[in-house]
Amino acid sequence: MNRFLIAAAAGIFILGGCMETKQSDELIDKAAEGVKSMTAQVSEIVKGETLSHEKNGYGQGVNVDEQNRPTGALDFNAKYGSLGALAINEDDKRIELTFDQGYENGYTEKILDTLKEKNVRATFFLVGDYAEKNPELIKRMIEDGHILGNHTQSHPSMPTLSAEEIKSEIGTLHDYVKKHYGYEMKTLRPPMGEFSEFSLSETAKAGYTTKLWSFAYKDWLTDDQPDPEYARQKLIDGAHEGAIYLLHSVSSTNAQVLGDVIDGIREKGFEFYELK
């Protein structure tokens, strides 16, 4: 049966005496070798051995489609969605607010107050140091109904790591948060938005979805904060269906304008994920 399948796959049809048995055997053997080679290649792809390790730096870009959606985010989804990664929620019209929690600068409590007042659920991406040093804030995030995301244990460039190192960076923080807060994280944002096909694949193997963003602006320099009115308008103007906003909680401007931004985006007809 196997020899027949191989022969059929190779396009060989043995009819009566039109082909010598020796010749047909040789062709079948060659087809078998081809099938064996193909199987090995597929196996390597499944194991991730042929996935690229090339470092990519993500940015949503400035080009948008007719729905104001950044084409860079849409292109990312199309290219890397099969590796469990996304930069925009194409199957959901709601807007998602996310905050990267690199360190605490005194504004997270005010941000949480505003989110609760406006009934908006956000995702907070934690690094290991933040998870260890800010238990009360993290407990409140959970109690208020927000989502905790994994930003790795030590904030490395993911495409520079081996499979075991990626597993450790994700798993160490995952286990800590589960043990100390009873919360199991499922979403990862790679530090600095850097990734490779291999790192995305390894992240998926760890049971995580990689989530980047479709809106971001320069808000992380604490000694060079954007003007509040500029930030307010830029954040509102950037709204689009399925948007994933990347914000930093170290920003005094973000804490100041967040309530007005939520109201302004809602006035444009958009909605957010709500607290549960």
**Mind telling me the catalytic residues?**
100, 248
Largest CA distance in the chain: 87
Residues with Cβ < 8 Å from 107, sequence gap 6 or more?
Answer: 249, 250, 251, 252, 254, 255
Q: How far apart are the first and last CA of the chain?
A: 58
* Residue 211 CA from chain centroid, whole number: 2
Nearest in space to 152 (alpha carbons), one of 102, 84, 88, 85: 102
Residues 142 and 157: their CA atoms lie apart, in Å, by: 28
The label of the residue with tokens 């990312």 reads: 76
